[in-house]
Amino acid sequence: MSLIALRNVTKIYTSGSQHIAALSELSLFIKAGDFAVLAGPSGSGKTTILNMVGALDRPTEGAIAVDGVNYDDLSSRQLADFRLHRIGFIFQSYNLIPVLTAAENAEFTLLLQGIAPAERRARIDELFERLDIAELKNRRPGELSGGQQQRVAIARAIAPKPAVILADEPTANLDSHTAAELLNLMRELNEKEGVTFLFSSHDPQVIAHAKRVVRLRDGQLENDVRQPL
């Protein structure tokens, strides 16, 4: 059974009298443990898919289910809970909360999940060790480099143990060396922990790291290939 299932999904954005189809009757299935990238040029529908899989947006037509949950009829509060427990986000521009320290940023979702303070701290300590940012715990985002911020963002996404991590152009603002480091790190998490990743990117480096490459063009599936690593 697929962890993520998009069935005949169409998404039309309306701007005034204009209707723009971002996705047209697209079907896509991602299995648990996958490390897949949505590749394609700007406007091909990558971010639209991530937004809908992440329960941030709804399809105009078609159905989406993640981890067996079809969230068509969920309220905004239920959607927030769904995201909290099942989805982890990594954004292109990190989007950490500037007034919180690195550890507090990563801990925030655990706090929302109601996890006890001792367990929260233990989980964050372990993650920060693994991500090699243990010494940065008490720094605020403004005191961190782009790569360090993205590591904190990864910690924040992984900490609540979501069903899938959605990463929208996660290396776009990083130099190639840092980007490669982070991709290796995410790949390691995928292989050792079985964390499912779904990226959007047109960066060849990201595409080269993916187990599966789903190419999109004009809101439709162009091809879908598994690649040996």
Neighbours of 74 (CB within 10 A): 15
Give percent helix, percent strand, percent coil of the chain, each to the nearest 5: 40, 30, 35
Residues 138-167 that bind another protein (CB under 8 A): 156, 160
186, 154 in Cβ contact below 8 A? yes
* Of the residues 73, 77, 116, 118, which one makes contact with another protein according to CB under 8 A: 77
Interaction between residue 60 and another protein (CB under 8 A):
no
Rounded Cα gap, residues 2 and 217, in angstroms = 23
Applying CB under 8 A, does 123 fall inside the site for another protein? no
From the number of C-beta atoms within 10 Å of its C-beta (0-12, 13-18, 19+), residue 16 rates as exposed
Q: Which uninterrupted H or E stretch holds 96?
A: none
Least Å distance, CB 51 to another protein, is: 5
Member of 12, 32, 56, 180 binding another protein (CB under 8 A): 56
Taking phi first (over 0 means left), then psi (-120 to 50 degrees means alpha), and beta for anything else, what does residue 168 get? beta
Q: Does 170 bind another protein (CB under 8 A)?
A: no
Under rule CB under 8 A, residue 109 binds another protein: yes
Nearer to another protein, 54 or 147 (CB): 54
Nearer to another protein, 38 or 213 (CB): 38
C-beta of 7: minimal distance to another protein in Å?
21
81 close to 71: Cβ distance less than 8 angstroms: no
* 69 near another protein (CB under 8 A): no
Q: What value, to the nearest 5°, has the Cα angle with vertex 126 and ends 124 and 128?
A: 65
Q: Does 112 bind another protein (CB under 8 A)?
A: yes
Residues engaged in binding another protein (CB under 8 A): 51, 54, 56-57, 76-77, 80-81, 83-85, 87, 89, 91, 95, 97-100, 104, 107-109, 111-113, 156, 160
